Amino acid sequence: MPNIKHLEDICTQVRRDILRQVHKVNSGHPGGSLGCTEFFVALYNEIMDRKDAFEMDGIGEDLFFLSNGHISPVFYSVLARAGYFPVEELNTFRLIDSRLQGHPTTHEGLPGVRIASGSLGQGMSVAIGAAQAKKLNNDDKIVYTLHGDGELQEGQNWEAIMYASAKKVDNLISTVDLNGQQIDGATDDVLPMGSIKAKFEAFGWTVLEIEEGNNLEAVLEGMAKAKAETGKGKPVCVLLKTIMGNGVDFMMHTHAWHGKAPNDEQLEIGLAQNPETLGDY
């Protein structure tokens, strides 16, 4: 049984890391990062089967691809807290000569990042390639992805979604962060997408829903169910309902904090709502 208290402590620390990263450089994307904190912490600390030595050859372990690369603050924090690189390096987020670029990249050699992302809609195709390479290598591990809901407006996703089921890429679990927000407002106002569940099902995927995407136990249970659905001839989609800005009250339920950093005063309020657990970097 996972130690929920410990995982919750990691979540709280990750939220602090997110706030402090974007505050320091007055740029970055806190809203979506906060909303996906429980997902990332569950994935990297419980769900994924990862090698201990942090090798980056991609063989013999579960892999994760972040397609909506702008939520790099949560990705970097969770990678650092999992041991991929020193947590002190979070101090360099978005600074000149840093490995922690505004959007994740392999270009600077940051351990844990396997593809550049930021230009939206490309991650699922890459993950499918990695999943098919695993099948060729008789590697029975799983490939995970994360996508924004607004990101599904990019057409390449639907090429990939069609392909994954046609080719029975059943070692793939793609999670969509259903926070209902994008830069210009609510997804239903910008470009209503109808039922994403129905769309994935129509394209031949197994679809699971996690109603409380910011409830750690719900995420753990939902992702465990998703894992149990792999290897059955279909790719697996998880619709993760989250609250953008979760854990910092004034950032919640709005798209206003999609790409905006807190000021000094706002930072203090946010940090007070998330007391230090593992130790700040």
Partner 1 sequence: MKTYTYTEKKDTRSGFGAGLAELGRTNPNVVALCADLIGSLKMNEFIKENPERFFQVGIAEANMMGIAAGLTIGGKIPFTGTFANFSTGRVYDQIRQSIAYSGKNVKICASHAGLTLGEDGATHQILEDIGMMKMLPGMTVINPCDFNQTKAATIAIAEYEGPVYLRFGRPSVPIFTPADQKFEIGKAIKFTEGTDVTIVATGHLVWEALEASKVLHEAGISAEVINIHTIKPLDDAAILESVAKTGCVVSAEEHNILGGLGESVARLLATNSPAPQEFVGTNDTFGESGTPAQLMDKYGLSSTAIVEKVKKVIERK
Residues of this chain that interact with partner 1 (CB under 8 A) are: 57-59, 63, 65, 105-107, 114-119, 122-134, 136-137, 139, 155-156, 159-160, 162-163, 166-167
Cβ proximity to partner 1, 37 vs 122, nearer residue: 122
In sequence order, the β-bridge partners of residue 181 are: 186
- Residues contacting residue 119 through CB under 8 Å, at least 6 positions apart: none
Q: Is 44 helix (H, G, I), strand (E, B) or coil?
A: helix
Cα separation, 139 vs 162, in Å, equals 23
User: Considering beta carbons, is residue 158 or 250 the nearer one to partner 1?
Assistant: 158
Largest CA distance in the chain: 53
Q: How far is the CB of 167 from partner 1 (least distance, A)?
A: 8
Contacts by residues 222-226 (CB-CB < 8 Å, ≥ 24 positions apart): 223/42, 223/43, 223/46, 223/47, 223/173, 224/47, 226/173
| Residue with smaller CB distance to partner 1, 30 or 123 | 123
Nearer to partner 1, 131 or 216 (CB): 131
CB of 260 to partner 1, least distance (A): 24
How many C-beta atoms lie closer than 10 Å to residue 247's C-beta?
A: 22
Measured CA to CA in angstroms, residue 44 lies from 51, 87, 253 at distances of 11, 15, 26
CB of 134 to partner 1, least distance (A): 6
Least Å distance between CB 65 and partner 1?
A: 8
Of 86, 175, 180, 183, nearest to 123 (Cα)?
A: 175
User: Residue 146 Cβ, how far from partner 1 at the closest point, in Å?
Assistant: 15
Locate the DSSP E strands across the chain. 63-66, 143-148, 172-178, 181-182, 185-186, 206-210, 236-241
**CA 211 vs CA 52, 172, 216, 243: distances in Å:** 32, 21, 11, 11
Residue 109: alpha-carbon gap to chain centroid: 20
Residue 163 beta carbon to partner 1: minimum distance, rounded to whole angstroms: 6
The residue among 83 and 129 lying less far from partner 1, judged by its C-beta, is 129
Quick one: 28 or 104, whose CB is closer to partner 1? 104
Comparing CB distances to partner 1, the nearer of 162 and 202 is 162
Q: Any residues with CB less than 8 A from the CB of 87 and at least 6 apart, and which?
A: 17, 80, 81, 281
User: Is the Cβ of residue 160 or residue 267 nearer to partner 1 in the bound state?
Assistant: 160
Q: How far is the CB of 166 from partner 1 (least distance, A)?
A: 8
The beta strands (E) that lie in 14-62 are given as: none
Minimum CB separation of residue 173 from partner 1 in Å reads 15
